[in-house]
């Protein structure tokens, strides 16, 4: 096991990060005129940070089909806007009430709460505007398919639905009846899994790929998303154990069900490894060596140290 991305993966991550950052800078509104502060806050929320995991999934899956990069990068930027909106709203005082995100003050701290609500709202709209624009793909049926998929995956039956379940779960946890394994898997699939699925599928949609190819990417992403969450829980568990000498992290202390809490350390590690292997074999069987970045990404997701 290694805790560094392979050279090929590291190069792809760097390349996509740089290209998506440039695209976001170009696509986000300029901070000028009467709405300068809103634009500035949107840029603060989107630029200069994050692993760009979703962007890399879009581009790596699109690369399998030789989709022109200028198209996949636009879709990647749209998904990163959507993801950024969800983080800004999740951090609000009435939600998770977080003051820091990636070491920087959250948007409602750096600006104010009303601006944070509006930033999220505007970023969501902007994501759909980017997808619907003819520069994303000349074929309008592909643009409409992208919009519909993102809307469904990010809405009440997807990401936002998962967030609602998470809120209810915290109350249940505080009342002493945290989620069971099946429920936490459903929560994570909605809250983070569906946007990860959309990211991996988007390359196939851009290419007008067939249903089997889309399914392979979809199944890859479901396993990857869950492996990612379990790995996150393991990292939190290990860092809190190391840092403060106790065996439970913040989430567990708050009565929140975690994979580590439910499965135990060893089983959680085994489960993450099994999901990673399954994700890798799914795309290697369908696409062969052209899916090497996706395969290495799945490996990295459970071996990274942050």
Query: Rounded distance, CA 287 to CA 118, Å?
Result: 42
Q: Are 8 and 294 in contact (CB under 8 A)?
A: no
Q: Which residues, numbered 140-169, are part of the site for a second copy (CB under 8 A)?
A: 140-141, 143-145, 147-148, 150-152, 154-158, 160-161, 163-165, 167-168
95 binding a second copy? (CB under 8 A): yes
Q: SS3 for 101?
A: strand
The Cα angle at residue 55 between residues 84 and 258, in degrees rounded to 5: 65
Backbone angles phi, psi at 180, to 5 degrees: -90, 180
Question: Please, what is the minimum distance in Å from the beta carbon of residue 290 to a second copy?
Answer: 29
34 contacts a second copy (rule: CB under 8 A): yes
Q: Interface with a second copy by CB under 8 A: which range of 108-116, 207-215, 218-226, 281-289?
A: 108-116
- 1/114 with CB nearer a second copy: 114
CA distances for 254 relative to 154, 173, 257, angstroms: 26, 7, 9
Q: Which of 72, 124, 199, 295 binds a second copy (CB under 8 A)?
A: 124
Q: CA-CA distance, 96 to 254, in Å (whole number)?
A: 12
Cα–Cα distance between 248 and 251 in angstroms, integer?
Answer: 8
Q: Judged by CB, which is closer to a second copy: 93, or 288?
A: 93
Stretch of residues binding a second copy (CB under 8 A), selected from 67-75, 132-140, 213-221, 296-304? 132-140
What DSSP line would sit under 236-254, residue for residue?
A: HHHHHHHHHS-S--HHHHT
User: Judged by CB under 8 A, which of 1, 32, 114, 306 binds a second copy?
Assistant: 114
Residue numbers at the binding site for a second copy (CB under 8 A): 29, 34-35, 37-39, 42, 85-86, 89, 92, 94-95, 112-115, 117-118, 120-122, 124-126, 128-129, 131-134, 140-141, 143-145, 147-148, 150-152, 154-158, 160-161, 163-165, 167-168, 183, 186-187
């Amino acid at each position: 096991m290694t805790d560094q991305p392979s050279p090929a993966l590291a190069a792809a991550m760097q390349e996509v990060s740089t290209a998506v950052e440039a695209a976001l800078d170009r696509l986000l509104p300029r901070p000028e005129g009467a709405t300068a502060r809103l634009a500035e806050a949107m840029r603060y929320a989107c630029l200069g940070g994050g692993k760009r995991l979703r962007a890399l999934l879009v581009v790596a899956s699109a690369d399998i089909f030789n989709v022109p990069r200028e198209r996949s990068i636009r879709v990647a930027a749209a998904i990163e806007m959507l993801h950024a909106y969800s983080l800004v709203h999740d951090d609000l005082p009435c939600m998770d009430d977080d003051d820091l995100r990636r070491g920087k003050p959250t948007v409602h701290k750096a600006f104010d709460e009303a601006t944070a609500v509006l930033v999220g709202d505007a970023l969501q709209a902007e994501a759909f505007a980017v997808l619907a624009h003819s520069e994303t793909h000349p074929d309008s049926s592909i643009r409409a398919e992208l919009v519909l998929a993102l809307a469904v995956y990010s809405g009440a039956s997807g990401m936002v639905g998962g967030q609602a379940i998470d809120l209810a779960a915290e109350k249940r946890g505080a009342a002493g009846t945290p989620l069971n394994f099946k429920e936490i898997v459903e929560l994570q699939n909605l809250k983070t899994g569906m946007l990860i699925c959309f990211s991996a599928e988007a390359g196939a949609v851009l290419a007008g790929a067939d249903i089997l190819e889309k399914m392979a990417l979809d199944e890859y992403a479901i396993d990857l998303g869950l492996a990612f969450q379990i790995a996150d829980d393991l990292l939190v568990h290990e860092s809190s154990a190391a840092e403060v000498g106790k065996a439970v992290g913040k989430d567990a202390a708050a009565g929140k069900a975690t994979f580590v809490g439910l499965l135990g350390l060893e089983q959680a590690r085994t489960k993450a490894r099994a999901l990673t292997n399954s994700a890798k074999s799914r795309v290697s069987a369908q696409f062969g060596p052209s899916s090497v970045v996706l395969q290495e990404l799945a490996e990295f997701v459970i071996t990274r140290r942050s």
